[in-house]
Amino acid sequence: MAGAPVLGPVSETAEAPAPSNPTRRKRTAAIGSLVALGLAASAVFGVQTALGGTATAARAIAAPASDPAVVFGGRGGYGWGPGTLPGSGSTGSSTVAAATEATADQLVGVVDVTTVLGYENGEAAGTGMVLTSDGEVLTNNHVVEGATSITVTVLSTGVSYEATVVGTDPTDDVAVLQLSDASGLDTVQADDDAVAVGDAVTAVGNAGGAAGTSAAAGTVTALDQSITATDESGQDAEQLTGLIEIAADVEAGDSGGPLYDAEGEVVGMDTAASSTGGQAYAIPIATALSIAEQITSGVDDETVHQGYPAFLGVSVQSGATGGAAVAGVVAGGPADQAGLTAGDVVTAVGGSTVTAAEDVSAALAGLDPGDEVTVTWTDATGRSQTATVTLATGPAD
């Protein structure tokens, strides 16, 4: 709208220091239960979880009765023990071998991934695999989700690099990172031949983060497994399909790490595990590499997103009359600079009418950092306000 202020992008720097010990990223399984732990009640656009404090978001996984139910650990909310998961149990073996320290050969091409969650005042960590000598890294999307900065450490050398997100596929839980100024790196060796039930495998990753990288030996117990994810409200269902199920002692932090076959070649990417231990899931490496190739080709589609998302910095909730209620704003972000405050009701974004929180997401979905968009809202006095904002660069999605 003419005369509305044009606002510039904001810094991605965290407003408060992150905890010194990063939370280890993992997806945990609560067999036969539907559990949601600490998920923000509001939908958040331009920032990934509820505002303030250390993030503890999670997603519950609702599966058919014959399939396991898996809890997606959210940013800062990984590694819960079985006592925290009501009704949890495991169909996995309770006699799997305990994880041991990974060998030098198993560390080739493997990296630790540590993320700063600047808008959430926290850190998280997981694992990744080097795909190219100049620093292209494969990991799970949930390892980097919400990150405002990423540091990757090559385990075989101990050298650390800053990393950026090349692109993500949140639906299939795959992300590709690029290390800054990297060269001559050793890469993992992938075997895209299909595994079979009964095959011996070893899951390697940054388990727990306290005693180095672990190797969890196990066996393939099932193939082509599907898990459906929902938030605690039962909305935003997501499904991971075609997973390899294994019996192995996979722990928090292993996400994004390699699943090796008996020949030491990568056959999968560690992705989920049971809360009680002994049962885990991996994305077949052929599937993960196919998605990574699409990401690096620069082609967006309904699931693949390039780079970082546009950032409005507002948390909204459905249920308000005539729009989406503002639950909170990020200090210094575009929404804050425009004058939105908690309790306002967003009625339009980019000329599209907003009647629910999902409409805000839809309006921002096709926009990039640096794009200008008009936002219309009703303030606490009932007055309609409109401003044009410049979307900032948001955390990884």
Which tokens is 36 given? 């949601």
153 or 11: which leads in pLDDT: 153
> Is residue 330 located within the same domain as residue 202?
no
Q: How far is CA 30 from the centre of its chain?
A: 19
Residue type for position 8 = G
The active-site residue out of 33, 142, 214, 318 is 142
pLDDT at 160: 98
**Does residue 130 lie within any of the structural domains?**
yes
Residues 295 and 377 grouped into a single domain: no
pLDDT bucket at 73, cuts 50 / 70 / 90: very low
Same domain, 297 and 338: no
Residue 9 domain-assigned (yes or no): no
Highest mean pLDDT among 8-12, 22-26, 148-152: 148-152
- CA dist., res. 120 & res. 76, Å (int): 9
Predicted pLDDT at 155: 96
Whether the per-residue pLDDT at 379 is higher than 80: the answer is yes
> Does 2 fall in a domain?
no
Q: Quick one: 69 and 179 in the same domain? A: yes
Domain boundary, last residue among 250, 271, 303: 303
Q: Which of 90, 149, 255, 275 is catalytic?
A: 255
Q: What is the pLDDT of residue 275?
A: 62
Domain boundary among 303, 319, 352: 303
Whether pLDDT at 354 is above 50:
yes
pLDDT of res. 54:
26
Indicate if 56 and 130 belong to the same structural domain.
yes
30 pLDDT more than 90? no
- Does residue 91 surpass a pLDDT of 70? no
pLDDT at residue 106 is higher than 90: yes
261 lies in the same domain as 274? yes
**Predicted pLDDT at 211:** 52
Domain closes at, from 303, 322, 339:
303
156/297 same-domain check: yes
Is 142 one of the annotated active-site residues of the chain?
yes
For 34-43, 173-182, 339-348, which range has the lowest pLDDT when averaged over its residues? 34-43
Flag whether 369 is in a domain. yes
Question: With 50 as the cut, is the pLDDT of residue 345 above it?
Answer: yes
What pLDDT was estimated at residue 187? 99
Whether residue 104 lies inside any domain: the answer is yes
Work out the pLDDT band at 75, boundaries 50, 70, 90. Answer: very low
Tell me, what amino acid is at 174?
V
pLDDT of residue 185: 99
We report the CATH number of the domain holding residue 188 as 2.40.10.120
> Please, which pLDDT band fits residue 74 given cuts at 50, 70 and 90?
very low
The confidence score (pLDDT) of residue 236 equals 44
Catalytic status, residue 305: no
* Of residues 160 and 320, more confidently modeled: 160
Whether residues 295 and 369 fall in one domain: no
Nearest one of 278, 285, 293 to 243, comparing CA atoms? 285
Q: How far apart are CA 95 and CA 98, in angstroms?
A: 9
From 112, 169, 173, 231, the catalytic residue: 173
Residues 177 and 264 grouped into a single domain: yes
Q: Average pLDDT in the 35-63 region?
A: 27
Give me the chain's average pLDDT, please.
Answer: 76
Q: What is the pTM of this model?
A: 0.75
Query: For a pLDDT cut of 90, what percent of the chain falls above it?
Result: 52
Among 147-151, 307-311, 323-327, 347-351, name the one with the lowest average pLDDT. Answer: 307-311
What is the pLDDT, as a whole number, of residue 244?
96
Which residue would you say has higher pLDDT here, 373 or 6?
Answer: 373
Residue 7 falls inside a structural domain: no
Please choose, from the candidates 281, 255, 258, 130, the residue with its C-alpha nearest in 3D space to the C-alpha of residue 204: 258
CA geometry: angle 281, 213, 187, nearest 5 deg: 80
CB atoms within 10 A of CB 13: 11
Residue numbers of the domain that contains 356: 308-393
Give a yes or no: residue 68 inside a domain: yes
Q: What is the pLDDT of residues 299-335, one digit of tens each?
A: 888 789 899 889 999 989 988 889 999 999 999 999 9
- According to the model, what pLDDT value does residue 228 have? 61
**Whether pLDDT at 227 is above 90:** no
Looking at residue 6, what is its pLDDT?
29
SS3 per-residue string spanning the chain = CCCCCEECCCCCCCCCCCCCCCEECCCEECCCCCCCCCCCCCEEECCCCCCCCCCCCEEEECCCCCCCCEEEECCCCCCCCHHHCCCCCCCCCCCCCCCEECCHHHHCCEEEEEEEEHHHCEEEEEEEEECCCCCEEEECHHHHCCCCEEEEEECCCCCEEEEEEEEEECCCCEEEEEECCCCCCCCCCECCCCCCCCCEEEEEECCCCCCCCEEEEEEEEEEEEEEEEECCCCCCCEEEEEEEEEECCCCCCCCCCEEEECCCCEEEEEEEEECCCCCEEEEEHHHHHHHHHHHHHCCCCCCCEECCCEECCEEEECCCCCCEEEEEECCCCHHHHHCCCCCCEEEEECCEECCCHHHHHHHHHCCCCCCEEEEEEECCCCCEEEEEEECEECCCC
CATH number at residue 350: 2.30.42.10
In total, the chain counts a number of residues equal to: 397
Judge if 292 and 162 occupy the same domain.
yes
Percent of the chain whose predicted confidence (pLDDT) is above 70? 72
- Count of the separate structural domains present in the chain: 2
Shared domain for 156 and 207, answered yes or no, is yes
Predicted pLDDT at 127? 96
Q: What's the pLDDT tens digit per position in 275-307?
A: 667 888 899 999 999 999 999 999 888 789 899
Residues 362, 327 share a domain: yes
The Cα-based distances of 279 to 91, 196, 209 in angstroms read: 7, 16, 20
13 versus 389: the higher-pLDDT residue is: 389
Instruction: Give a yes or no: residue 224 inside a domain.
Output: yes
